[in-house]
Amino acid sequence: MTIQEVDPKIIEKANIWLSGRYDTETKEAIKNMIENDPGELVESFYRDLEFGTGGLRGIMGTGTNRMNKYTVGAATQGLANYLKTCFAGLKEISVAIAYDSRNNSSSFAGITAEVLAANDIKVFLFENLRPVPELSFAVRQLKCQSGIVITASHNPKEYNGYKVYWNDGGQLVPPHDKNVITEVNKITSIDEVKFGGNNALIHFIGKEIDDAYLQVLKSLSLSPEIIERQHNLKIVYSPIHGTGAILVPPALKKFGFTSVTTVDEQMIPDGNFPTVHSPNPEEKAAMTMAIEKAKTINAELILATDPDADRVGVGVKDQNGNYILLNGNQSATLLIYYLMNQWKAKGKLTGKEFIVKTIVTSELLKEIALSYNVESYDVLTGFKYIAEKIRLFEGVKTFIGGGEESYGYLVGDAVRDKDAVVSCCMLAETAAWAKDQGLTMYELLINIYQEYGFYLEDLISITKKGKSGAEEIQQMMQNYRNSPPKTINGMKVVLIKDYKFQKETNLLTGTEIPIDLPKSDVLQFFLESGSKITVRPSGTEPKIKFYFGVKGKLQDKSDFDKVNHEMADQLQEIITSMGLR
C-alpha cells in the first residue's frame, strides 16, 4: 500500500495528531508510518477504540485505534464528564483503579488517576498490581461511583485495555456503556483532556482491601471441616506472570490448604509473559509448566489464572492417572454441582436462590440447578450481564454462583465480575469434598454425567485481524442470516435464535417469538438431534467464535470412554460439515 491509497479521512485524523498537543515521540511515530508503513497508519487510525463486552481493548501503540496515553486520557475524560453528570448531586465522586502486570499498565493507571483527579474526582489507586475481582470488591467496599482496571485479560503481550465498572461493582451495561463512549466521542481535541492531576485527591490502597476481600472469600467456604481433613490436597498453582500471584496463594492458605506448590518461574509478574506464547489458561500451551510441575509432585489439582486473575484453567487426573485439562463448561459443572449439593446439605436452600449462566454455556448447569429447585437464568455473553442480573434481584433472591464457558466463574455476590481467586479456592474445596468421598474430580464429573446426561462442547475461534478482518467477520454473519443452513451434518436445523433481531424462529412450524434479551450480534442453530451451534463475533478481540454442544446418555460409568469418543466424533463431524476444520 502507498500513502496515496490511504483513505483521506485517515490522513486527516493522523494530521490532527501531528498538529496537536501530542509529544514528540508520538509525532515521530506517525511520520514514520506515513513515510514507511502506510498499512500500519491505516490500522492505527481507521477507527476509534470502542467499549465492547469487556471495555476498551487494543494493541498498544500510536493512533486512535491503539492503546496509548492519549486514548486512555480521552476515555478517562469522557468517563469523568459522565460521572459528573450522573452523580451531580453528590458532594464527592470517587473512583477505584487497579492494574495488572502488562507493559504500560502502571503508567496507564497513573494517567487515569491524574485525569480523574484533575476533574475533582477522588481516586483510590492500588499501590501495585491487583486482580480484577478485587477492584470490583473495592468499588463496593469503598462506596465508589465507578472503578477502572487497566488490563487486556488473557490477550497476547502487545495488547492492553481499560475496563470500566459502575457503582455496583459490575462492568458497564446499557445505557452507561454507550453513554460513556458518547462522552468520549464528544472530545474533539486532546486539549479538552485534563492531564494535570491534583495529587491530593489520589489515595493509595492495598493491604486493608486485601484483608477485607480475603475475609469475605473465606466466609463463602461451605466445608471447612472437610478441608481440615483434606488440607494436604496436593495443588499446583500458576498465575502465568500475572496478578493472581498476589492473592491466590494467600487465599488458598486462608481456606486451609497446606500443600500448595507454585510454578515459581511464572510467579514473577512480567508483561512480556516470557514462558508462554499467550497467557491464556484456555490454551494447553499456557498450562504446560503447571502440568510438568504436577507430574513431579503427583498433584491432585492444577490451577492457573490469567494475568488479571478473572479466569482459571483447571487440570485433573483422568481415570488412567493422566493429567488432562478441563474445559470451561466442565469446571463450571463441578463448581455448580458442589455448590448445589452443599447448600442443600447445610439447609441453606429456601426456594429464593438462583444461578446465572451465559447463553453459550452448557445447558448442564441449568439441569443441575433445576434438580435442586434453584432457578437458573440465561444472559448474553459477557460477565457484566451476570452482574446485572445479581443487581436486579438484590434483596429479593440470593445469588449462589454462576459462570461462563470461557473459564470465568463467581461464587457469592461480594464481587460483581468473574473471580478466579474465589474460583481457585472453591474448586479446591470441591476437590477436597470429592476426595473425602474417595473420588477424584474426574470421577465426580463422570458421576454428574451419569445422573444428568453427558454434555460435550467444543469451541472454534477464528481470528481475522485488522480492518479487512472486521469486514470479513461482518460478511460471515450477514451470510448466515441471509442464507441460514437448513441442515448441518445431515441433521435438520429446527430452531434459529437471532439475538440481533431478538427473535426465535421455529423452522418446523414457521412461528416466531421474541427473545427477551438485549440486542447482540449472535446466532444460534438448534438441530433435531438436540445439538446447539452458536456463532458470535467477539466483542473484545478480532475473532469470530463458533460454540458447539452435543448431548448423549451415559447409562453406565464403564461406558464413559466409548460414549465420550462417540460424542467427540459427532462434534467433529458437525464442525467439519460447516467447513471450520
Residues marked active site are found at: 153
Which cell is 565 given? 469418543
Q: Who's near 254: CB < 8 A, 6+ residues apart?
A: 214, 217, 218
Do residues 301 and 316 make contact, with C-beta atoms less than 8 angstroms apart? yes
Measure CA 343 to chain center. 26
**Phi (first) and psi of residue 570, to 5 degrees:** -65, -40
Q: Look at residue 34 and give its three-state secondary structure.
A: helix
SS3 498: strand
Q: Which amino acid is at 90?
A: L
Task: Quote the CA–CA distance of 355 and 378 in Å, as a whole number.
Answer: 9
Q: How far apart are CA 275 and CA 574, in angstroms?
A: 35
One-letter-per-residue 3-state SS of 130-178: CCHHHHHHHHHHCCCCEEEEECCCCCCCCEEEEEEEECCCCECCCCHHH
Provide the residue type at 60 as one letter: M
Alpha helices in 393-465 (DSSP H): 420-436, 441-452
With a CB cutoff of 8 Å and minimum separation 6, the contacts of 239 are 245, 248, 266, 267, 269, 304, 305, 307, 309
